[in-house]
Homo-oligomer: A and B are copies of this chain.
Amino acid sequence: MVVSHIHPDGDAIGSTLAVGRVLSKLGKAVVMVNESPVPHKFRFLPGAGEIRSPEEAKSAAPYRRVIAVDVADAERMGQVRPLLADDAEVLNIDHHPTNDRFGTVNLVEPDAAATAEILCRWSEGLGVEWDPSLAACLYTGLLTDTGGFRYSNTTPEVLERASDLLRHGVDPGEVADRVIETVTREQLAILRRALDTLSFSEQGKVSWMWLTQRDFQETGAKEEDLDGIVNYARNVAGVDVGILFRETAEGTVKASLRSREIVDVGELAQSLGGGGHARAAGCNLRGNRKEAERAILDRVAAALRRGGC
């Protein structure tokens, strides 16, 4: 069995499919499983239709030989975890620094930009040749976990691997178009609502946007449609901290924070019971809109005045 984390991203799906394909090429019987359905934008990847739900994979349970990819701890398998035999041998292939080494064998490389990067070496080590399908899955993992080769984890090795994958038949325009460029109408509709509320403070160093439950109801947008919207606030020239506030169905306010270089938003979110890292973090707040906004904006302003955290 090959499994990745719930709410899978491009590296999770790409890595699952790559391992599945490598095992098939080696003549192994393989079942790919994920608690969550494959997000629409990754369904063009070869083999995506073969990833099973826990329900569909149940009949062959318990699984004794498991490869977990991009899974930082076993809990992240969600409802797939109960399908593993108590004495299952687990190969844990991951790049998260927080990986707790839950595997029988742990191939954990925190310096890798994506699990797919580890799998490039792994598949070579097994002597498996990259066909265009396998290459497309690996490329998707590299592309998405580096923010389209835009994050600072885009190492020379990542681009060298990506170049290699193109030589093995990947169409870079097609992959980027499908997994990054394409948006749904709901995504654009909720983006428009967010942009309508764009506000600035602290001489333009702080920028934020608001989404209400009504915005979600009227646009039909869901949580996953918010992907990247907070960056519109953070990306404005002169801004250091960009924030997206949104009302949740439970009546709390969720804040997503991104920063360029001054404020450590991870620390800030932590002080409010949330988490994340210095440049990207989030937290959940009780209280009404005004209170939640104040709680965050006051702390951001204070952090800016202190010159950081």
Contacts and interface: CB of A to CB of B under 8 A. Distances in A.
Interface of A: 40, 148-152, 154-160, 162-164, 166-167, 171-174, 176-177, 180-185, 188, 191-192, 195-196, 198, 200, 231-232, 235-237, 260
Given A163-B163, A166-B155, A184 B150 contact: no
A160 B158 CA distance: 10
A243 to B, nearest CB: 15
Contact of A188 (B155, B160, B172, B198): B198
Given A160-B160, A160-B163, A166-B159, A154 B172 contact: yes
Contacts of A192: 192, 195-196, 198
A167 B163 CA distance: 15
A44 to B, nearest CB: 12
Contact of A166 (B154, B171, B237): B154
Nearest to A157: B163
**4 A-B pairs with the lowest CB-CB distances in the bound complex, closest first:** A152-B173, A159-B163, A150-B176, A154-B172
B236 A183 contact: yes
Contact of A173 (B151, B183, B185): B151
B172 A166 contact: no
27 contacts: A148-B148, A148-B149, A149-B162, A149-B176, A150-B173, A150-B176, A150-B177, A150-B180, A150-B181, A151-B173, A152-B171, A152-B173, A154-B172, A154-B173, A159-B159, A159-B160, A159-B162, A159-B163, A163-B163, A177-B260, A181-B231, A182-B236, A182-B237, A183-B232, A183-B236, A183-B237, A188-B195
Given A159-B162, A160-B160, A172 B150 contact: yes
A283 to B, nearest CB: 24
Given A149-B172, A150-B176, A152-B174, 12 more contacts: A148-B148, A148-B149, A150-B172, A150-B177, A154-B173, A156-B166, A159-B162, A177-B260, A181-B235, A184-B236, A184-B237, A192-B198
A200 B185 CA distance: 10
A242 to B, nearest CB: 11
Nearest to A174: B152
A156 B148 contact: no
A132 to B, nearest CB: 13
Contacts of A180: 150
A191 B229 CA distance: 13
A180 to B, nearest CB: 7
Contacts of A195: 188, 191-192, 195
Contact of A164 (B155, B156, B231): B156
Contacts of A188: 195, 198, 232, 236
A263 to B, nearest CB: 16
Contacts of A167: 156
A58 B155 CA distance: 43
